[in-house]
Amino acid sequence: MAGKINNEPMAEGTQRILGRDAMRLNIAIGYAMAQIIKTTLGPKGMDKMLVSDLGDIIITNDGATILEEMNVEHPTAKLMVEIAKTQDKEVGDGTTTSVVLAGNILKNSGALLDRSIHPTTIIKGLELAENKANQVLDAVSEKVTEKDDAILNKIALVSMGSKGIGSDSEKAAIAKIVVDAIKQIAEKRDGKINIDLDLIKIEKKAGGEVLDTSLINGIIVDKEIVHAGMPKRMENAKIALIDAALEIEKTETDAKIEITSPDQMEAFLKQEENTLKGMVDKIKASGATAVFVQKGIDDVAQHYLAKSGIIAVRRVKKSDMEKLARASGATVVSTIDGLSPKELGNAGSIEEKKIGGEAMVFVEKCKDPKSVSIFVRGGTEHVVSEVERAIKDSLGSVSSALEDGKYVTGGGSIEMELSKQLREYASSVGGREQLAIEAFAEALESIPTALAENGGLDSIDTIVELKAKHSKGEKTFGIDVIKGKVEDMAKLGIFEPSKVKRQAMASATETARLILRIDDIISARGKGGGMGGPGGMPPGGMGDME
């Protein structure tokens, strides 16, 4: 499918690629991007090592991270990166699936272009295929609620299955943490479950083991208690959250205070001290035993707080203040005058702990907190970062399953079932659109094919066996890459959210539609370079296509 690229000079510093050559180039680059991350798919997927110009290293098999960190210059390659970003934002998982699917839809569409089928006909067929696939997906999906802990745990496990973060027992422990965290912050509105993942704070510190990762029913604040004389641990704390400084405010305009004698100086300092003491007295009078301040705390105020046995933490981030409010039930006040017992929150314990040589304040054992923390541990920074990525993917998967209320079997089983039913549907549509629907169906089969290849299986034999199972109506059969054979995914408990699959198909189809409509690429070299392939490589033909 290789074609000559027409570089027609338009003006000084401008390059142009026209017609089918532009389409072929775009398709080649889209497919190349899919091939790059295809090997990361599944429990036996491999990792990529990404090395920046400064020598920073990231080792991961998370599709979104790989594509985001890659140095891509060609606009089509950037469109493929956008698929992963959208998938990550919308559902938090399935980034590799969406990009592999998009790349294969483009490759199969390229073969139809070579058969002189018009791009708009192909696009129409792809839209029909996506609509039908969504109908089939809804029909074969099973329902899930917040009470189905076993299913939710399995969804979390499958999501992190491809991450090399430790043993099965470690993954199972983290999966339980993820499900517990989401169930804690989930809210029901009008019969629907709403989950704001921003209310789950992920704090990470290298050291210990992956199994040391824990769920904190409260918030971890990455600050230290301000004064050595304050208690380092407190039970049944009453928490005050103050969005103001516990110090003497400077005037907004330039002001001059003239002091002509030592007595005046002493009186001035005494007045400052009394003002700060008055602030502390107001905090004490409210009944607060711990205070978190978004701004600074004067040394004198620190002294009086310590004398009163009150824990104080300063310069707490606004986002942490909001999470503390949701966790403890406190109200953030903007002035100390507005502080009263009803504005205070509660925590079972507040403790400063030294983790990896750094002090952190743990606000724990909150009663029914609506914001929680996951404290991630691991042997090295790289391990901790990969565990964090695995947790984020699992949080996305479990929250998508609960919000949508539906799940399907994994292991390539749903893709194979969709492919089978799309092929049957294609014959009923007829016309040239039929070929585009079949191209979409074939692209769906790239997911089980990739799983088989990454698992070290013979992809042709495995896909033939899988197709045979589905033709007999065994819809839940997929590829068990651990044992290396075709198995019933429902019995194995390999479950994925329907929303992840729906979003992957939507992103892939929309991007393919966008790319197939392009018949002219114009590059102004004077404004930031030319049109390289992935990683800035020169544009290539379709020679590397299978």
Instruction: Note the pLDDT tens digit of each residue in 340-371.
Output: 889 999 999 999 998 878 899 999 999 889 99
Active-site residues, by number, are: 62, 95-96, 393
Whole-number Å distance between alpha carbons of 263 and 260: 9
Structure tokens at 474: 């065994």
Whole-number Å distance between alpha carbons of 143 and 161: 22
**In the structure, what pLDDT confidence band is assigned to residue 482 with cuts at 50, 70 and 90?**
confident
**In the structure, what pLDDT confidence band is assigned to residue 6 with cuts at 50, 70 and 90?**
very low
Q: What angle do CA 138, 140, 142 make, to 5 degrees?
A: 85
Q: What is the DSSP string of 39-89?
A: TT-STTPPPEEEE-TT--EEEE--HHHHHHHS---SHHHHHHHHHHHHHHH
Instruction: Note the pLDDT tens digit of each residue in 439-469.
Output: 999 999 999 999 999 888 898 999 999 999 9
Task: Provide the mean pLDDT of the chain.
Answer: 84
State the pLDDT at residue 1: 39
Inter-residue long-range contacts of 57-62, CB under 8 Å, 24+ positions, other chains counted: 57/382, 58/382, 58/385, 59/382, 59/386, 60/385, 60/386, 60/389, 61/96, 61/162, 61/163, 61/164, 62/95, 62/163, 62/386, 62/389, 62/390, 62/393
Q: Residues 190, 403: contact at Cβ < 8 Å?
A: no
**Among 146-155, 412-421, 514-523, which stretch is predicted with the lowest mean pLDDT?**
514-523
Amino acid (1-letter code) at residue 94: G
pLDDT above 90: percentage of residues in the chain? 42
Q: What is the mean pLDDT of residues 406-424?
A: 92
Question: pLDDT at residue 285 above 50?
Answer: yes
Q: What is the mean pLDDT of residues 255-267?
A: 68
Structure tokens at 435: 């070929």
Q: What is the mean pLDDT of residues 109-122?
A: 90
pTM of the model: 0.79
Amino acid (1-letter code) at residue 328: S
Domains and CATH numbers, the chain: 18-143+408-528 (1.10.560.10), 145-217+374-404 (3.30.260.10), 219-368 (3.50.7.10)
Question: pLDDT at residue 249 above 70?
Answer: no
Q: What is the mean pLDDT of residues 384-407?
A: 89
Question: pLDDT at residue 323 above 70?
Answer: yes
Beta strands at 290-293 and 233-242: parallel, antiparallel or unpaired = parallel
Is 6 or 330 the better-scoring residue by pLDDT? 330
Whole-number Å distance between alpha carbons of 168 and 360: 30
Instruction: Note the pLDDT tens digit of each residue in 120-132.
Output: 999 999 999 999 9
| Helix count and strand count (H, E) for the chain | 17, 21
Q: What is the mean pLDDT of residues 502-518?
A: 89
Q: What is the mean pLDDT of residues 103-125?
A: 91
Residues composing the chain: 546
Question: pLDDT at residue 7 above 50?
Answer: no
The phi and psi torsions of 488 (rounded to 5 degrees) equal -80, 110
**In the structure, what pLDDT confidence band is assigned to residue 75 with cuts at 50, 70 and 90?**
confident
